[in-house]
Amino acid sequence: MAQVSLPNFSFLIFNFELPPPMTFTVPARLEAEIDELITHYPPDKRRSASLMVLHTLQEHFGWLSKDAIEWTARKLGLQPINIYELVTFYPMFRQEPVGKYVIKVCRTLSCALGGSGQLREHFCASLGLDPHAHGLQTTQDGKFSVEFVECLASCGTAPVVMCNEDFYEGVSPAKADEIMGACK
């Protein structure tokens, strides 16, 4: 009978590193606001508060880090996957930092016919971003982010743009320059 020697793979089983401890902290005032917000949902259905908690955190921090997502899960007594499902499904949640000014250019049919593609290219070229890249792009200095978004609900005044919470209709390249110039 021949003997077969198997390699020792024990290092694969025991040689692992634990993730560093979480350093994410929510300011006391913000946590109190979130605690109050959670009271508007049934105690046995705390998961119902997930979207509002995520919106509140993103409004404060500008995006949702892995630690923010896991903090939310712990806060609501849920598994992290329950929160990741929401963050990855809904496009309004950001998993990466964005600029101080987020420029959203509508890309749906009316705006596309009105020139939103060229308008996005103008924003990108003016800010030193790649006009052909897909997805959110942020300038090196972190001041601006530019992205295409779905309908901004003003099809009759295309193309439309949002810069943070400000809404602009019938945006031309000259108007785009004014929008960027007003961002201090």
Dump pLDDT digits (tens) for 61-104. 999 999 999 999 999 999 999 999 999 888 789 999 999 999 99
The CATH number that domain 26-89 falls under is 1.10.10.1590
Distance, in Å, from the CA atom of 50 to the CA atom of 72, rounded to the nearest integer, reads: 7
Domain assignments of the chain as residue spans, ordered by start? 26-89, 101-182
Alpha carbon dihedral 37, 39, 41, 43, in 10-degree steps, equals 140
First to last CA, the chain: 81
Question: pTM for the whole thing?
Answer: 0.70
* CATH class of segment(s) 101-182: alpha beta
* Strand-pair partners of 125: none
Q: Supply the pLDDT for residue 92.
A: 83
Comparing C-alpha atoms, which of 167, 102, 93 is closest to residue 139? 102
